[in-house]
Amino acid sequence: MKRRLRTLLLLLLIATRTLLAQNSHFASSSSPGSLSPDEETDFITTHFPLKQLCKWTPGMKFMFIPDSSDEFVPILCKYEDGKEVDNDLLKSKTLEYTGSEETVHETYIGKIYTSRFIFQCEDHKYYYEMKDVRLNDLCDQNPYASIPALVYLQDVNKAKKLLIGKTLYTRTTIAKTDDANSYSGYREVNIAKGEPVKITTIDVGNKSFPVKITFIDRKGVSYYINVAMSRTNSGMEPADFQAEKRINYFPNAFSFTNPDVKTRESIQSKYIGQSVYPQKTIRVKQTELLRYTPLHIKDVQPEKAGTSATHLLTDIQGNTYQVKVDLKYDPILKNEDFIEDLFGFSDIRKKYPNISESNWLMLAKGEVKPGMTTEECKLAIGEPIEIRIRTDSRFETWLYRGKILEFENGILLRAK
């Protein structure tokens, strides 16, 4: 009964280790450096900070561009008399924010608070009203609150200064071109991802995506994409830039550096200089890299397409080897050339300094001999299926498929 219980516990341990190993595949599947903010995100954070509605300051300017959903619903009221204003009267005009105020009305159910946001346009003042909302509570209740039809002009003006004339690289395969025959005035077209483009003009877009970026490709063909920069008054949360809206956030649409170069540099910085060892014998051209051979990654050359890369490895004698690996694990295909299945990332000789060179050669070939320690035997042939320990604990018997090892005080007596 005890033997069966010990066997069951050992099998459970092996299954747990297998599951952990599988989980490590998924943990390793992200691209190198994917947790770090990229250059484009830093660009937005530095130059286009989000200004929440509750924290607007006088002097902020907006262009009034109502969309189709606002066509028949007046958005602003005259400050002098509170009358609603026809949207067409203010269309495409610039409004300057002058401040906010809070009003309160006594009703039979208690006090009703209203927040007003006041704007100046030419010689007139207007306001947008939010009922049942206090100014001090607005940020907590709705941090992404926005006012319809107002396009934040600071994003447009800053983008003009920073981007016109620059060469960027596309991160999307979809853009727009003007089309007079289309009801919308444009049509969507496919473009090449990762291609260099030159920013030619920047104009006013719409409330959600205020910056209209027009660019030309290497053939001189012109396209444009409307993007959000600071997201000020866009009403968009970061999580909203998904599916078809993904490309409407600047960091998702453009890159400042060639993506091939960026990917290569990221991969090289992750792997070059690492000490590794084969976890199984690897065939390379006319020779074999035995398991546990100490190696050093000298160079990495990723393929332009896909997730493969060629690693240039050197051993302690200075010999060089080229090994093609896959940098991403595929749980469906279970690719055998996944880098973390082929190599262990450490100097394994430093971990076991007392193992002799002759013993390392045997371990690499999966061989054991009397006098080896339990650690050496595990390195050679892995974990046993079952371990039987005698009552005095001096003697152990390790059972494998087709092999039995007998130990005394942790030293191999015989293998049969």
Render pLDDT for 154-212 as a digit per residue (tens, 0 to 9).
Answer: 999 999 999 999 999 999 999 999 998 888 889 999 999 889 999 999 999 999 999 99
Q: Place 52 in a pLDDT band, splitting at 50, 70 and 90.
A: very high
Structural domain includes residue 1:
no
Question: Does residue 272 sit in the same domain as residue 197?
Answer: no
- The confidence score (pLDDT) of residue 315 equals 93
Question: Does residue 267 sit in the same domain as residue 336?
Answer: yes
Structural domain includes residue 95:
yes
Structural domain includes residue 178:
yes
Backbone angles phi, psi at 266, to 5 degrees: -65, -45
Q: How far is CA 8 from CA 5, 13, 59, 382, 400, in A?
A: 5, 9, 74, 18, 15
pLDDT single digits (tens) 93-138: 999 999 999 998 887 788 889 999 999 999 999 999 998 888 888 8
Q: How far is CA 35 from CA 10, 38, 42, 171, 202, in A?
A: 37, 9, 13, 18, 31
Interval 8-35 mean pLDDT: 38
Interval 265-283 mean pLDDT: 92
Best CA proximity match to 176, nearest among 220, 139, 213: 213
Structural domain includes residue 44:
no
Question: Does residue 118 sit in the same domain as residue 169?
Answer: no
Best CA proximity match to 339, nearest among 269, 260, 282, 382: 282
How many whole angstroms separate alpha carbon 272 and alpha carbon 299?
6
How many whole angstroms separate alpha carbon 144 and alpha carbon 297?
48
How many whole angstroms separate alpha carbon 212 and alpha carbon 224?
7
Q: Which residues neighbour 261 within 8 Å (Cβ) at sequence distance 6 or greater?
A: none
For the chain, percent of residues with pLDDT exceeding 90: 69
Question: Does residue 247 sit in the same domain as residue 298?
Answer: no
Residue 15 pLDDT > 50, yes or no? no
pTM across the whole model: 0.64
Residue where the block lists tokens 């509750």: 54
Tally the domains of the chain.
4
- The confidence score (pLDDT) of residue 335 equals 87
Interval 133-151 mean pLDDT: 90
Structural domain includes residue 307:
yes
Residue 324 β-bridge partners: 310
Question: Does residue 205 sit in the same domain as residue 285?
Answer: no
Quote the domain boundaries for residue 316: 261-350
Question: Does residue 177 sit in the same domain as residue 251?
Answer: yes
Residue 10 pLDDT > 50, yes or no? no
Structural domain includes residue 30:
no
pLDDT single digits (tens) 326-381: 999 888 888 889 999 999 999 899 999 999 999 999 999 999 999 999 999 999 99
Question: Does residue 279 sit in the same domain as residue 340?
Answer: yes
Interval 270-290 mean pLDDT: 91
User: Which of 94, 112, 143 is the C-terminal boundary of a domain?
Assistant: 143
Q: What angle do CA 198, 202, 207 make, to 5 degrees?
A: 135
- The confidence score (pLDDT) of residue 7 equals 46
Structural domain includes residue 130:
yes
Question: Does residue 346 sit in the same domain as residue 356?
Answer: no
Structural domain includes residue 47:
no
pLDDT single digits (tens) 22-36: 333 333 333 333 334
Q: Place 17 in a pLDDT band, splitting at 50, 70 and 90.
A: very low
Question: Does residue 64 sit in the same domain as residue 128?
Answer: yes
